[in-house]
Amino acid sequence: MILPELVFATNNKHKTEEIGKLLVNQYKVLNLKDIGCDVDIPETGNSFAENAELKSSYVTENFKLDCFADDSGLEIDALDNEPGIYSARYSGVRDDLENLNLVLKKMEGKANRKAHFKTVISLNQNNKNYLFEGVIYGHITQTPIGDEGFGYDPIFMPIGYDRTFAQMSMTEKNEISHRAIAMKKLIAFLKEQV
Ligand code: IMP
């Protein structure tokens, strides 16, 4: 059976395998390395959606392949939705601990600690573009708690939980996260297509 090819614009082999398993027998999911794309695609957009679209469109235009790409980050109400698209290098460097400490510093004395993680996935399929969004709401803790996960996980506690993302197993977080919500929407859409 020849499956339609679909590129996930990521260098993360693990992420590609995971989604490939969910779409088994429907799509052959390839990552950037699989298609010989070693360019660090510039993320110069002003929103998660723009950055995701830049990545998916780069692949579709240059490799003539259907493709999806994701972009995520943390938005904090009291900081006018910062760090937002700058989440990965909020402190100026790509260092999780420094970024997280900068957030805690900026949040000192703030009563409103509401925040959310957001993921936007851009899919280019058959010359059309589709967007899928996942959001999870919660609050920023006073101090980092937990050792699991990455990024801002130790300071984000989702609504309805008394543990941060960093206190959850990867399986538990993957059931409720912004990325999981957006991916589920993408997968449901792709399953309808075949
Ligand atoms: P990306 O677009 O998925 O690479 O995410 C960009 C940045 O947002 C990451 O480098 C993290 O700083 C932050 N971020 C995104 N998703 C998460 C998450 O699930 N937990 C913690 N931090 C995240």
CATH code for the domain in which residue 32 is found: 3.90.950.10
Residue 41 in contact with ligand 1 by CB distance below 6 A:
no
116-145: per-residue pLDDT in tens?
999 999 999 999 999 999 999 999 999 999
Would you state the structure tokens that stand for residue 176, as one six-digit string? 């409720």
Domain extent at residue 41: 5-193
Query: Per-residue DSSP letters for 40-63?
Result: ------SSHHHHHHHHHHHHHHHH
> Is 71 noted as a catalytic residue in this protein?
yes
* Alpha carbon 179 to its chain's center: 5
**3-state SS, one letter per residue, for 162-182:** CCCHHHCCHHHHHHHCHHHHH
Count of domains observed in the chain: 1
Residue with tokens 């660090």, as numbered in its chain: 40
Let me know the angle formed at the C-alpha of 78 by 76 and 79, rounded to the nearest 5 degrees. Answer: 65
pLDDT band, very low/low/confident/very high, at 194 (cuts 50, 70, 90): low
Taking the model in full, what pTM does it have?
0.95
Residue 22 contacts residue 83 (beta carbons within 8 Å): no
Cα distance between residue 161 and residue 131, in whole Å? 28
Cα distance between residue 104 and residue 12, in whole Å? 29
3-47: per-residue pLDDT in tens?
999 999 998 888 888 888 888 889 999 999 999 999 989 899 999
Residue 153 in contact with ligand 1 by CB distance below 6 A:
yes
Give the active site residue among 71, 95, 147, 162.
71
Query: 36: CA distance to ligand 1 center in Å?
Result: 25
